[in-house]
Amino acid sequence: MFHSDSAFATLTSQTLTHEQKLMNLAKEAENAFDVLDIPPRTRHFFETGAINDLFEGHAPYRPRYILPDYGAFVRQGSAFLRLPPPQDLDELLFSLMTLYRHVPSITNFPVYLGNLDTLIDPFLDGWSDEEARRKLRLFLNYLDRTITDSFCHANLGPAATRAGRLLLEVLSEVQNTVPNFTLKYDPEVTPDAFAEAAIRCSLACSNPALCSHPANRDTFDDYGVSSCYNILPIRGGAYTLTRVTLTRLVDDARGVEHFVEELLPECLRLTTDYMNERIRFLVEQSGFFPSSFLVQEGLISADRFLPMFGVTGLAEAVNHLLRDRGLVYGRDGEADALGVRIMEKIDAVVKTLPAAHSPLTGNHFLLHAQVGLDSDVGITSGVRIPVGSEPESFADHLRHCARFHPYFPAGVGDIFPIASNVEQNPAALLDVVKGAFALGVHYMSFYSADTDLVRITGYLVKRSEMEKFRSHQVVLQNTTHLGTANYDVNRLAQRKVRMV
């Protein structure tokens, strides 16, 4: 008979909702299987924390991230869901809400909701701004109250639309944690007024973030931003995301040369072998793709999925290797140069390792700067600079970001608390964005230093909800559980506030 202490603790918890209990118990059942061949050396790296599967479970039965072609859905409807193509705004929003309920992911919720402004804009004719805002307010509140996981993303832009403007207005008003939004910013397409409206909204409610559209469309011309800054192809997604935690791997290193030339390549190879095990089981045995109506109706296609190779904890790895000399990542040129050398080695090795069932990328893995876990004590997300070590100059910080962002075609981002007085001058912050993107920064997110909504790593949590969770109250979003621990342990309240 199956039994575990953690399952029983879930059953009897007084701080979890019924839905949170259900998902935790489902994960317990999934992890009772042992279907993956994991060699002893790989298990060693799992035990040390150098390799981490990010809670994907022992028996993969759905892709980690799925990005349906919502535009195709709007044009054709869904035979499986018995939905005709929507004819007006009410039918559109109803149809989208229905489909979202049936889009799985590693979180059991959709991680991508589409480019909402371009989906909605053609259906606004005949509605006043006030009427449209009321409908969009109900729509966004429905998403926030039913997708109770902040690893959920929607996109805007790059062109300005009436729907985009109205969504920003409503976002600022409702102050929701779900979904995350990203504005795809293109200086050749996005008007300053629209970008400034997005920045003004972000300073009010930490939403949306901004990505460099020219930089990210180089990876996939038709891409979406999902979950935590994941750049993935529409009509596809990510089979899996496993990360190498450099902070933990460096503990086995005898020095810089041993780490870069021997230990790191070995761990990278074993990580890709492990991901290929997951992919083969998912594609060849789980039955997901043959059985999914998303495939049958052309909303996703197996040949547009890929594996994401996650990297995190670069800062601590560099600092560990140079600890005898007191050099610090993000502050000393020699430390940053070692960071570049490590990333160049990772990039070069991973490009030589074949990825199963991934024709879209030429059967290669794509690097992703993984944004962290609630259990990441002393591990700085991706290639970010640790809290407390940020350069005094905002410009220097952005130059550092620009040096490392281009290694990560599957997504990378940095977070900047902004002094509240900047709300009076969003044009100045837009100038910073333009300069950063011109340098090579791929993704930026802001929040006002005194807002209730804060970005933890790549997702939003309310300070007020974290206070409820700390006092052992039940909270709606399960990501509040994750965010509270991360916020406290990694001293996120002490991020350097930037003036503009």
2 pLDDT higher than 60: no
Q: Report the percentage of the chain scoring pLDDT > 90.
A: 78
The predicted pLDDT at position 3 comes to 62
The predicted pLDDT at position 67 comes to 98
Q: pLDDT tens digit string along 302-359?
A: 999 999 999 999 999 999 999 999 999 999 999 999 999 999 999 999 999 999 999 9
Q: Report the percentage of the chain scoring pLDDT > 70.
A: 99
Average pLDDT over residues 123-138: 98
Q: Rounded CA gap, 451 and 461, in Å?
A: 11
- As beta bridge partners, residue 154 has 181
Please report which confidence band the pLDDT of residue 380 belongs to, taking 50, 70 and 90 as the band edges. very high
Q: pLDDT tens digit string along 458-496?
A: 788 888 988 998 999 988 888 888 888 888 877 888 888
The predicted pLDDT at position 71 comes to 98
Supply angle C-alpha 286, 375, 43, rounded to 5. Answer: 50
Q: pLDDT tens digit string along 219-230?
A: 998 999 999 899
The predicted pLDDT at position 6 comes to 86
423 pLDDT higher than 80: no
74 pLDDT higher than 70: yes
The predicted pLDDT at position 198 comes to 97
Average pLDDT over residues 375-389: 92
The predicted pLDDT at position 246 comes to 98
Where exactly are the structural domains of the chain?
1-31
Sequence-ordered list of residues with C-beta below 8 angstroms from that of 424, at least 6 positions apart, any chain: none
